[in-house]
Each structure stands twice: as C-alpha cells, then as structure tokens.
Structure 1
Amino acid sequence: MRIQAAVVDSAGGPFVIRDVDLEEPRDDEVLVRITAAGVCHTDLIMRRRWSRLPMVFGHEGAGIVEAVGAAVGTVAVGDSVALSYRSCGKCGQCRGGHPAYCLLNDLNMRGTRADGSSPLSAGGSTVYGNFFGQSSFASHAVAYASNVVRVPPTLSPALAAPLGCSVQTGAGTVLNVLRPSPGDTVAIFGTGSVGLSAVMAAVSLGCTVIAVDPNPARRSLAVSLGAHTGLDKAHHAIDTTGRPDVINRAIGSLHRRGTLALVGIGGRAEFDIMTVMTNGIRIRGVIEGDASPATFLPQLVDLHRLGRLPVERIVTEYPFTEIETAARHAAEGTVVKPVLTFG
C-alpha cells in the first residue's frame, strides 16, 4: 500500500515527508494506522548517526489496528493500540520477565526485519525502517505482537503515544527498579519527558521528590507536579542526562547504600570508586524502565485515569507535516514531549 512517511535521506539530514510503499503484514506482523507519534531524543540522536539510509524513524506510535498476520492473536482489527519496543519473547531475559534486556536487542536497531528485508520501499528501492519494530513517523506502520499493546479507545492517541518509551522509561525506573517506599527521597537529574515521568511516578508513591535541572521553566513544571528543587541527600537518584558531571553529582547526592539509576544516553563517565565503595552505593543501568509493555502500559493507563500520571502536562501536539518544527523544538528544549498527530 502507498503511505506517507518522514524519510531521512542522509545522516543528520531533515525529515522529508513523501510517499513510500509498505508491504502487507506477514504472519507475525500487525499493520497499524498511526494516529499519533511521540518525538524522542533517541530519534534525533540516531538520525545523526544512522548509516543505513534512507530511513524512517519513530518509536512512540499509537493508532488503530488495520490488519493482523495469521499468527497474531493478541490484537484484532479495530483495536486502539500503543506501540513500544520489540523483543524476541524466547531468550532467557524475555522468559524471565525482562524483555527490555532481550538478547536480540538489535531487533530494535537493525533497520530491517530479522531476515534483512524491509517492509518499506520507494521506486523499487529499499527504504529502511522497522525502528523499534515500528518506524512510526508514518501514516502506517508494521509492528509485532510483542510491541503492540491495546489501550482504551477513549484515551487520546497523543497521550497514549509517549507511554511506549519515554513515560515507560521514567515511570518504570521508579516503579519497577528503584521501588522507593513512601517518604523516601528521590532525586531526579534532568526533567525532560523521562525525568518528569519519573517525578509523577515518585510523587504518586508518596515520596519526597527533588528535581534538578538548569532550565527554570522545567524546574517550575516539576514543582507543579509535586517536586521540590532544594537538593538534599536522597535514598534514590535517577540520571536522565548521560552527562559525566551530572552523574557524579547524582552519586554525591545519595545517602549511604543509596541507588543511582542511569537512564540517559551518554558516553563514558568516571567516578570515584572509593566514594561508591565506602558508601555502599549501587549503580544500576535501566532500559525502558525494565518494563514489559504488555503488562506495564495498562498500569500506566490506570495511573493516568486515576489522575496520578498527568501525561497531558508534558505533551505538545504538532501536525505530522510539522515534524521538523517539532524536532527542532525538542532539540532546543522549548517543549517537553512533542507528539505528532495525523489527520
């Protein structure tokens, strides 16, 4: 079928909306008409680095199921769904309930199916996609049973979309990994969509939440969500920045035997080993909030319904045709979570 997609033709190049062809779903695939897609910093980072081009990114999709392969029994045509990351479902990590650490984690970063093919093409030439098993910067996407999750049809697609990555990562780091007790202090470094989702989750548990960010508007938003800004010793800390200086500051903020969760994309960082050792500090890497989308996204929907996860406070909507503007605003930090909507 002929669809519209935002295609990146060169590393660091712009998103260009044009017609491409999308194959019908195979037996293990799901065709989704995209109604909203979040713009994540991972999309912006990878379009600068990606070598298999042209490429369609996007990994926070939401939409309506239009077709399912013969082997798919978890969703049906007409279902409202949110899309998340892909996992194999068979390896030890997946079977152990931790699909975010799937041993085939390159499923999300190949740009192709497992057999090397792409469902996308233009003029007979390959267009790479399958980003996080979806490539949702498009009017339609092919996804999989492992990363398609039913959501209530009454939930706005613009709110459902970011649940699949940024909200899942921030909230999941609190709820699934750190698991603070009521009254614990949680320091969150960086208040983008991941950090503010962590703020919401920690506040919902009755924690004292400290938000650390150089942007006064972001700090103000965090305070309005229940956080404080005076940094004191914390039982738990989350770094969303990936910056070595911030990571060291986070380590220094912890009580003895405190835990630091690293969720930001970054390079190398150095820290004082004796500080970590003598204080019994734990440092834990976290991908996708250590969440299984099939069970965790419904929990997030319930928290939103109860008013404990007000995702609408961080979302700014843009028409799909304004994807470059949305990407620029995300990079500049003038909005927290841009979400593209499709007419």
Structure 2
Amino acid sequence: MNTTTAKAAVVESGGSPFTLSVIELDEPRADEVLVKMTAAGLCHTDLGVASGGLPFPLPGVLGHEGAGEVLAVGNSATRVSPGDQVLLSFTSCGSCANCRDGHPAYCATWLPLNLLGGARPDGSPTITRDGDPLGGHFFGQSSFAEFALVDERSLVKLPADAPLEKLAPLGCGVQTGVGAVWNVLKPRPGDSVVVLGAGAVGLSAVMAATLSPATTIVAVDKVANRLDLARDLGATHVIEAGSGDLTAQLVEATGGGASGLVETTGNVNVLRAGVDALAARGTAVIVGAPPFGTEVALDVNGMLGGKQVVGLTLGDSETQRLIPALVELVKQGRLPVDRLITEYPFADIQQAVEDVTAGKTIKPVLRF
C-alpha cells in the first residue's frame, strides 16, 4: 500500500501543546483527495479540542481551515484534478435530508464525520504514526500537516491565482460569521445588527453586515484595538464590554432594540444580555460554544414579543455556493479578511496558539 509521509502538528493528549511529528497518510480512497498544504487557519475549535474539551481521539492531528494544491485524486472524485488550488472546509454525507436540502452543516452525521470521530465513517484511520492510528479526518481534512487526505465533499475549487494564505480562514471562521448575517439574520433595509465578540467570527459578521442593508452595526468586545478594527471594518457603534449595563447600552445604540444579533463569545451572561436587548421579532444567533451541558436562562415573557434564538453551525453554508462568492469579494477588496490575519511559519504553530489565546492575534494563518 502506498503511503505519504508528512510532518504534522500532533496534540498528544488533552491540554498538551502542538508538537511536530512525522506521520503517514493512507492512500486516497475513491472519494478522497491528497492535498499539498499551502496555508491553514487556526480556529478556536482547534484549541477547544486540543484542550481536551471534546471527546476527539488523541493523539491526533487537527486543522480545519486548509488551503493548498491537489496532488492526487481517488478514482470517483470529479470535482478537482491534480494541480487545482482548493480550499478545505467541513465534510458531510451528501445523502441525508439536510444535505439534500442544501444544509450540509446540519448533516445527520456531522458530529462523527467532522468533530468527534477521528476516522473515516467505517472506522479506518486516515493518519498513522509508526503504524499506530492517530486521530484524524478532522472536518474531513486534518490540515495541520504538510499533506492532507481530504474528503472530496470538503473541497472547494479555487481560481488558479487565488491567494491561499488570505483565503484559508474562509473554510470555517469567516463563513460562520458571514453566514450568521446573510443566511440567518438576512438584514432588511434599516435593520440593526449587533455582534457580541470581535474575534475572527465576529469581525466577519461585521463585514457581512456592512455588505447588507443594515444601517446600524454594533460591535462589543473587551479589547480596545479590536473595537477600533471593528469600526474600520464598518461598525457604526462600538461598546466596551464591562463598561456598564450591556443590555441598556445595546438598546440605546440600536434605537430601541436590535433587529438581529450574533453571539460569538460563548459567554452565557453576554448571550442573555443580548437576547434581552432584542427588539420585538428580533433574532439572536448563537455561534459561540461554551462547554457541553452549558445552559442559559431566558425571560419567558420577554420572548413573547416574537423574539427568536437560533443556534448555528458553520454559517448554515452550502460551501460550493458561498465560498466562491466570498473568494470573489476578497479579490474585489470588499471583504478585507487580510485585516484579521497574522501569518506564522507552520513550525511556529504553538506560538500562534499562545498569541491567539492571549488576544494578541485575531486569526493566525500557518504557512507551509
């Protein structure tokens, strides 16, 4: 059997750092593609799994915002050919009701295929080390390695001149923030959009709101320079978290209550303050994920004015449609994701982890 050897960032156990190790990749099966990585974004989901907060099998290889060049394709893969530039995103089964309905982020097998399984659906590993299986197949890709064995359904073909280091974050963080606004809130002329948390997902939501008919865009964060960047990216109002009664500040900034709200922090107190600040028939989109089992209390009578609270995975995106549009907006300069990015050599992945955890970096992108 042919295998590909690669250097990868391996997390040995929950709470361990990312350390470089040599791994072997299985040869591509019929519906798989071998990709030589050019760049990969580092996302808070990677950090959550690395911390041991989710039951993903470790030691393992994470990474789910990859971009690179196709080296080889399985014999039933038809979307791409060797030499194509590709963006890697989440995978899905393609045959359940939600996949057929254009909502692959809510695939019936999403959790085992992307987040928890660590292997192909049949249980076989995509990655080994010295013959022992490692956790892999993360979001159908495990892109924290020089090469990735990728589900064809995770791939989006890009133009030959696409700047991969700028586009890698579209695979998760950017499409999540954009999708929260475009696919769920769908702002109407004159609406207000509140974004709680000005990290990569939140700032992507701000950029998406700027490309909508919303006239009031409010960003909330506790880091002053992130609020400055939010203003640069189109926020009309910024609020420093902890500077007063958040609900009252949001109601004032939105002129009586928010039409729509995106919660990216995972803090249930922030979420509750945001829901309380919704206008009648307003919608709150939950993106930030606290530890499993976390609950939030809501004022039931306060909900009776037609308020909605909606959970969201990956922007509820149909990647083959949304990502090419985002790529074009980046190329046109209308979605300036480069303002969020700090690049790191792949070997410095642990430094990137420390910088994003400390709030120094918004979106680290690893270069191979």
TM-score by length of 2: 0.91
The answer to whether the aligner puts 1:271 opposite 2:271 as a matched pair is no
Equivalent residue, structure 1, for 2:274: 250
The answer for the alignment partner of 2:223 in structure 1 is 215
CA distance in 2, matches of 1:192, 1:251: 20
Runs (5+) with no aligned partner, structure 2: 240-249
Tell whether 2:357 aligns with 1:331: yes
Task: Tell me which moved more, 219-228 or 44-53.
Answer: 44-53
State how far apart, in whole Å, the 2-side matches of 1:27 and 1:136 are.
Answer: 20
Whole-Å separation in 1 of the counterparts to 2:295 and 2:326:
32
* CA distance in structure 1 between the aligned counterparts of 2:67 and 2:48, rounded to whole angstroms: 21
Give the residue type in structure 1 aligned to 2:295: R
The answer for the alignment partner of 2:175 in structure 1 is 168
Find the partner of 1:312 among 329, 338, 356: 338
Q: Which structure 2 residues correspond to residues 1-343 of structure 1 after superposition, within 5 A?
A: 1-49=4-52, 50=55, 52-105=57-110, 106-109=112-115, 110-207=117-214, 208-227=216-235, 228-229=237-238, 231=250, 232=253, 233-266=257-290, 267-277=294-304, 279-342=305-368
Query: Larger deviation: 46-55 or 137-146?
Result: 46-55
Tell me, yes or no, if the aligned pair for 2:49 and 2:56 is still in contact at 8 Å. no
Q: Which amino acid aligns with 1:103?
A: A
Task: State the Cα distance separating 1:295 from its structure 2 match.
Answer: 1.1
Aligned-pair identity in percent equals: 46
Determine the C-alpha separation between the residues in 2 that align with 1:211 and 1:13. Answer: 33
State the SS of the aligned residue for 2:226: helix
- Output the amino acid matched with 1:243: N
* Equivalent pair of 1:159/1:315 in contact (CA under 8 Å): yes
In structure 2, C-alpha distance between the alignment counterparts of 1:305 and 1:32, rounded to whole Å: 23
SS of corresponding position for 2:19: strand
Q: CA deviation at 1:306?
A: 2.6
Amino acid at match of 1:280: G
What's the offset of the Cα at 1:153?
2.6
Judge conservation of contact 2:56–2:118 (CA < 8 Å) in 1.
no
Q: Secondary structure at the match of 1:229?
A: strand
Gaps of 5+ in 1: none
Q: How far 1:307 moved relative to its partner?
A: 2.1
Task: Find the aligned partners of 1:2 and 1:306 in 2 and give their Cα distance.
Answer: 38
RMSD: 1.1
- The SS at the match of 2:51 is helix
The C-alpha deviation readout for 1:251-300, integer Å capped at 9, x for no partner, is 122111100000111122111111112x2101111110010111110011
Counterpart of 2:359, as a letter, is: G
* TM-score, length of structure 1 as denominator length: 0.97
**What is the distance in 1 between the residues matched to 2:27 and 2:59?**
20
Report the Cα offset of residue 51 of structure 1: 5.2
Task: Pick closer, same or farther for the CA change 1:51–1:132 going to 2, 3 Å.
Answer: closer
Between the aligned partners of 1:284 and 1:24, the Cα distance in structure 2 is 40
Aligned pairs, number: 341
Shift of 1:249: 1.1
Give runs of ≥4 in structure 1 deviating > 6 Å.
Answer: none
Distance 2:160 2:270 in 1: 40
Q: Distance in 2 between matches of 1:285 and 1:137?
A: 28
